[in-house]
Amino acid sequence: MAMNVKTDNTRKKKRYVIYTRCSTDDQAQGDFTTLDAQTYHCRNLLDAFGHELADIGNKGVVKDDGYSGKDLNRPGIQMIIDHVRRKTAAFDGIIFFRLDRLTRNTRDLYWLIDLFNSKEIAFVSVRENLDSSTAIGRVVIGILGILSAFERELIGERVKASCVARVRQGRWVGGNVPFGYKLIPDGAPLPNGRQPHKIIVDPETGNKLRFIWEMAANNKSLYDIGQELIRRGIKTPTGKVWRKQSIAWIIKNQFHKGYIKYGKEIHKGTHPAIVDEELWLKANRVLTAKLPGHRFIKQTPEYIYLLAGLLKCGECGSHYVCESGNGQAAEKFFYYVCGRSKQKLGCDVSRFSARGFDEALIDYFKRASTDQDIIVKAIGDAILDSQIKLEALEKMMKPLQEKLEETKQEANRLLELAMDNRISQGKTYKDKMARLDEEIVRLEDELEKLQAKKNVAQMSASSGQFLHSNLRFAMQYIEKAPPEAQKSLIQAMIKEIVVYKDYIEIKMYIDQPTVDSISCSLPAPETQKAPKNDKRPAGDACKALVTVSNARSSPERQGWLPRMDSNHDSKIQNLESYH
């Protein structure tokens, strides 16, 4: 199938901030310091790609001189982070000489990657040739995101184990102390310098809070309780106006009746209780009965749609939206549905299972980890394009290098003649040497910019094996990664998925569109009832909602079949249903 690829040649200049760091003050002193060297290389790369410096720091340069990279306690990087967090950044990206100039702490690196990605801030490392604004760079960042998620999972498991052990001993696990309590020192400091603490009832507020549970038990609204708190002059910990959410949280918190909760673990604490258990239970029975003034429910996502925002209808061009429905057995179902079809605006494409489609795509990536052809096909054009650029750059550099060598030889010959007193060192000689020096500086500067472009192209051209091994690792473990990490990697690799009636078209960031097939199915019909809120007319079942066995035997199955043509690669892999 012929593909028409449109390229946007109108590129807006991006604004970058240069970040430099050195560990000692000595390195930051002198005429040309290590900070100047880092700035020089970063500026050359920006010039080579036509970017400009942002209006921040010292003419677009932020320095941390004399600070270690072991953590982020540095004024320069904190200023950048603060701008990014507050969404007031006057720059589109950050560039630095090496990753260790940004941080030497892997955990901090992963955290910065997550922060920059969430705020759409590009970042470039000159030495590692890592650029999040390029296709290959985004894939590498996606892999780093997977590794970051794994590290967070491991850290979370260790922290959770420690917290559970403390809760079982009735000890406070840390964080903000609940309202009505305070921390005080408990004994002498430990050998490592840490000061143990214990929790006591705050004499100023703790003994005045019992009326909150008494009013709740008498079915007083949260508003009434808040007004009584104000009348008695009891302020919130931050001195702000009482909110219903804050009052409800105090009433529900088991800490006030002498218990500590962490996750699903609840144990008797070593701290004193403010309210007895009988009154606490009575107040909470009334509060959770959903009486007027007490309706307060926190909504949590029931399912993370991995392909949200990526799916596009091949029939009408609209994007697919996410929706859910309740079955007769109180089972929840999740779907992708064409936006125009959902609104009945001229498209009759049926919706299909979000779980089934997501699982099929994850299974495709998992199987792709063992098939190098699939991965090479995905990055092949990007590497080929980089090789073409590399050859073109080498052709451009060769005459410049020859010209530079000739100019240097001419300058040396002229200098030798002057040193041997064979020519006069008058005005003509000086003008000639000045012109040669200017030409040498111009050629060296032009060659350095081309060399910067060559380094990036060379990295892309020779990164096939690197990307294959890392993509293989990420794809191999993508099934075990948290849904957020799966979504991050998928959206880093895939630009768009166009869904037709008989095939799908996967458009990668680093490749031409890939046409493949994928089978999407749900559990057997007898266990999958029609949703209660489904107002569609009765008739043929949605073709996406069929069993695997039916899909393989019935001609009416929902099949994401490949459309073959003369240009179709015979090695394209069929995506089977994930089960």
Q: Which residues are catalytic?
A: 23
Assess contact for 101 and 41: CB atoms under 8 A.
no
Cα-Cα-Cα-Cα dihedral sign, residues 409, 415, 419, 423: positive
Q: Are 109 and 27 in contact (CB under 8 A)?
A: no
User: Do residues 242 and 293 lie in contact, with contact meaning Cβ atoms separated by under 8 Å?
Assistant: no
Q: What sign results for the dihedral spanned by CA atoms 57, 58, 59, 63?
A: negative
Please report which helix (H) or strand (E) contains residue 183, including its range. Answer: strand 181-185
Q: What is the DSSP string of 533-568?
A: T--SPSSSPPTTS--HHHHHH-TTS--B-----TT-
Whole-number Å distance between alpha carbons of 165 and 499: 50
Secondary structure class of 18 (helix, strand, coil): strand
Q: Are 93 and 83 in contact (CB under 8 A)?
A: no
What does residue 268 show for φ and ψ, rounded to 5 degrees?
-65, 130
DSSP secondary structure, 370-428, as one string: T-HHHHHHHHHHHHHHHHHHHHHHHHHHHHHHHHHHHHHHHHHHHHHHHHTTSS--SHH
Q: DSSP assignment of 213-280, as one string? A: HHHHHTT--HHHHHHHHHHTTPPPTTS----HHHHHHHHH-GGGGTEEEETTEEEE-SSPPSS-HHHH
Q: Cα–Cα distance between 75 and 401 in angstroms, integer?
A: 42
Angle, helices 464-476/354-368, rounded to nearest 10 degrees: 130
Q: Can you name the residues that pair with 439 across neighbouring β-strands?
A: none
Non-local (6+) Cβ contacts of 481 within 8 A are 146, 149, 150, 489
**What does DSSP assign to residue 439?**
H
| Block residue for tokens 């002198």 | 30
Q: Tell me the two tokens of residue 333.
A: 């179902």
Q: Which amino acid is at 64?
A: D
Residue 132 corresponds to which amino acid?
Answer: S
**Measured distance CA(241)–CA(383) in Å, rounded:** 59
What is the residue whose two structure tokens read 């030497």?
A: 104
